[in-house]
Amino acid sequence: MKSFLRLHLFTLLGLVLAANLGLHIYLAAGQIKPWAAIKWLDVLGEGGSMLIWLAWLIMLLRARPAGRVTRLLASGLCCIAFSWWMDVLDEFIWLPEGALWDNWLENAPMPIGLLLMTFGIYHLHQEQQAISAQMSKRERLFREHRLFDRLTPLGSAQYLRQQLQMALEQSERDNLPLSLVVIDLDDFDAINQRYGQAEGDQVLQAVAQLLLLNLRPQDLLCRLAGDRFIALLPGTGERQARQLADELQQAVASLAHKSQRHGERLHLQASVAVAMALEETPEQLLKRLNLALARAKQRLEPVRDLAS
């Protein structure tokens, strides 16, 4: 209550002073009516209206933050409440015959108040539109956030599927090739086992950054799942994609990631595979890419067996 009064001190004080001034002017110029001459129905109507406007004013000031819109609406409500107040006083005080100034005091604040409220409502509408635009932007951001991987700054599998669908349509329209490269870390489970999940997370983040650095601005890198990344390469044929895949594989092999706890260098290897889009759905293309990766992993198995 205290902070409410402090916040709107000038508005409320202005209204009380104006009401008081009106009362004194009427008392100075007129005469109090006898009880029997008071029309109570008018008092009820005019006084009730004034109280309702005052209630609206309090509700407005409590509900809204301070600012231009609140100021305009509050000033409008004050003018209208003042106008009703002067009307109520009229019921209790006789003013000299032929006096015109009381008409001005009673009636002039009403249109001024309505005008101020009209401006206030116009700006309120604009404010609402700006808030709605902002909310819908935030909502879109939130919705799209769910399409991003929690660990790396990359798109998720769902995001990849969406983008792939669009890229396939675009490549068909522009008659340009489109290729995918998959990069899957070898034996990543062993890193988790040996250094722990948190270290594994750091490795995935470092690899994501490294792959991004080695891709072109038009390429899109997503994390499909676990230690598997997919790069979508627009306008790229199979030969160029294979070359890029080799570069990415070399980059991973030469990554000098040091473990957090002992500063030990982790040696990483990745398997890569490439698929150029034919006339197929995103699912068919991803299936073909995964098969190519499985074949690449199979080729690696004998080497692993020899090493162990």
Q: Is 91 in the site for ligand GTP (CB under 6 A)?
A: no
Q: Give the residue at shortest CB distance from ligand GTP.
A: 200
Q: What are the helix (H) ranges across 34-187?
A: 40-63, 68-92, 101-107, 109-145, 157-174
Question: From the CB of 223, what's the least distance to ligand GTP, in Å?
Answer: 8
Is 71 among the residues that bind ligand GTP (CB under 6 A)? no
Q: Please report, as a single letter, which amino acid is at residue 211.
A: L
**Residue partners of 168: CB distance under 8 A and separation at least 6:** 178, 277, 281, 282, 285
Instruction: Quickly tell me which residue has 């790229």 as its tokens.
Output: 236
> Nearer Cβ to ligand GTP, position 79 or 222?
222
Q: Which stretch binds ligand GTP (CB under 6 A): 22-30, 137-145, 164-172, 196-204?
A: 196-204
The conformational region for residue 175 under phi > 0 = left, psi -120 to 50 = alpha, else beta, is left
Q: Which of 44, 55, 135, 151 binds ligand GTP (CB under 6 A)?
A: 151
Q: Judged by CB under 6 A, does residue 188 bind ligand GTP? A: yes
Binding mask 216-245 for ligand GTP (x = CB under 6 A): ----------xx------------------
User: Using the rule CB under 6 A, which residue among 22, 76, 200, 234 binds ligand GTP?
Assistant: 200
Could you tell me if residue 300 is left (phi over 0), alpha (psi between -120 and 50 degrees) or otherwise beta? alpha
d(C-alpha 87, C-alpha 95), whole Å: 12
When asked if residue 185 is in the footprint of ligand GTP (CB under 6 A), the reply is yes
296 binds ligand GTP (CB under 6 A): no
CA pair distance 136, 79, nearest whole angstrom = 37
Length of the chain (residues): 308
Contact between 249 and ligand GTP by CB under 6 A: the answer reads no
Asked if residue 272 binds ligand GTP (CB under 6 A), the reply is no
* DSSP code, position 259: P
- Can residue 172 be called a binding residue for ligand GTP (CB under 6 A)? no
Stretch that binds ligand GTP, among 27-35, 52-60, 83-91, 197-205 (CB under 6 A): 197-205
295 sits near ligand GTP (criterion: CB under 6 A): no
Closest separation in Å from C-beta 194 to ligand GTP: 11
Q: Which region, judged by CB under 6 A, interacts with ligand GTP, from 90-98, 164-172, 183-191, 211-219?
A: 183-191
Q: Whole-number minimum distance, CB 77 to ligand GTP, in Å? A: 58
> Which distant-in-sequence residues (6+ apart) come within 8 Å of 119 by Cβ?
72, 76
Give me 302's structure tokens. 């004998």
Question: What is the side-by-side strand order in the sheet with 220-225?
Answer: 220-225, 228-234, 178-185, 270-276
Question: What are the residues binding ligand GTP (CB under 6 A)?
Answer: 151, 184-189, 192, 197, 200-201, 204, 226-227, 297
